[in-house]
Amino acid sequence: MESEYTLFNLDEGPIGVFDSGYGGLTILNEIRKEMPQYDYIYLGDNARAPYGTRSFKVVYEFTVQSVEKLFKLGCPLVILGCNTASAKALRSVQRYYLPRYAPDRRVLGVIIPTAEVVGAMSRTHHIGVLATQGTISSESYNMEIAKQEPDAVVTGLACPMWVPIIENGEADKPGADYFVKDSIDKLMAMDPLIDTIILGCTHFPLLMDKIRKYVPEHVKLVPQGKYIARSLQDYLRRHHEMREKITMGGSCTYYTTEQADKFQESAALFLNEDAQNLDVHHVDLRGMI
């Protein structure tokens, strides 16, 4: 039977960063600060966001379509800048898809690098995780943190309203306050000993001002970008065969499944950049597989 996927050789090209929408920009931003010398391609599947309530099968299919697109655009290495895709699709992508279709390319996620650093940040060893329904029900954070800190008590809460608020440009509007406060109060009531909260969805730092407002002062907030950037830097230091395949020019090109001008405007706000400086293209992922 003919394969539904394309076979990829290892090419030179940019680092690909993928998310269901705007959230991965918080990861891209930190990666670019740490390693401005490389070229990057960002892909946001905004037209099909949010992924948070979708099934394993659908998240896997959408993730493979996006990874394939980034491979076709030449990326030797793709970061899933999305916890939901990291929780629900990464393992299958690494175990089944890559060995068959792109054995020399790599796809990395955001959960393990976060789980590796969070234990050391908590004094009480009571850690909270705010994320999408998909990430929470996968229990990926509980499992990965337990590997590093077997004594840690991890309490997760799904915040299903937060991603739609951000994708719809409502993050700084007063209506968002209700949903942010409600989820934080619920999490702290579930375990009042929590002293560290992982923002386990890459969209959530875009609500940072409001989150800070409602989190008790002694509680540490952990957005992931910085840790993902450091972990990637370390990975590239250890894998020279991959490092040598990443092109250097400092460029960044953006692709979205939504309208390019809509993405350009919102992404510019999130990145604090002039919209005209963002090179944005529309892409259609349907029919990729």
Kindly list the catalytic residues. Answer: 82, 201
CB atoms within 10 A of CB 285: 19
Q: Is 23 in the site for ligand DGL (CB under 6 A)?
A: yes
26 lines the binding site for ligand DGL (CB under 6 A): no
Identified binder of ligand DGL from the candidate list 52, 76, 128, 205, rule CB under 6 A: 52
Shortest Å, Cβ 156 to ligand DGL: 12
Name 63's Cβ contacts closer than 8 Å, sequence gap at least 6. 18, 80, 85, 88, 89, 90, 93
Interface with ligand DGL by CB under 6 A: which range of 30-38, 148-156, 197-205, 235-243? 197-205
46 part of the interface to ligand DGL, by CB under 6 A: no
> Quick check: 198 binds ligand DGL (CB under 6 A)?
no
Binding to ligand DGL by residue 201, rule CB under 6 A?
Answer: yes
Site membership for ligand DGL, residue 19 (CB under 6 A): yes
Q: Distances in Å between the alpha carbon of 174 and those of 20, 168, 170, 270?
A: 25, 14, 8, 18
Query: Of 63 and 196, which has the nearer Cβ to ligand DGL?
Result: 63
Does 132 interact with ligand DGL (rule: CB under 6 A)? yes
Residue 203 beta carbon to ligand DGL: minimum distance, rounded to whole angstroms: 4
Question: Among residues 21 and 128, whose Cβ is nearest to ligand DGL?
Answer: 21
Residue of the chain from 66, 183, 202, 257 that contacts ligand DGL (CB under 6 A): 202
For ligand DGL, the binding residues in 261-280 under the rule CB under 6 A are none
Question: What is the chain's Cα-based Rg?
Answer: 18
Nearer to ligand DGL, 79 or 127 (CB): 79
Size of the residue set binding ligand DGL (CB under 6 A): 17
Residue 20 touching ligand DGL (CB under 6 A): yes
Strand partners, 108: 79
Q: How far is the CB of 101 from ligand DGL (least distance, A)?
A: 24
Please give the Cα distance from 141 to 148 (Å, whole number): 11
| Residue 203 is a binding residue for ligand DGL (CB under 6 A) | yes
Residues that bind ligand DGL (CB under 6 A): 19-21, 23, 49-52, 82-84, 132, 135, 163, 201-203
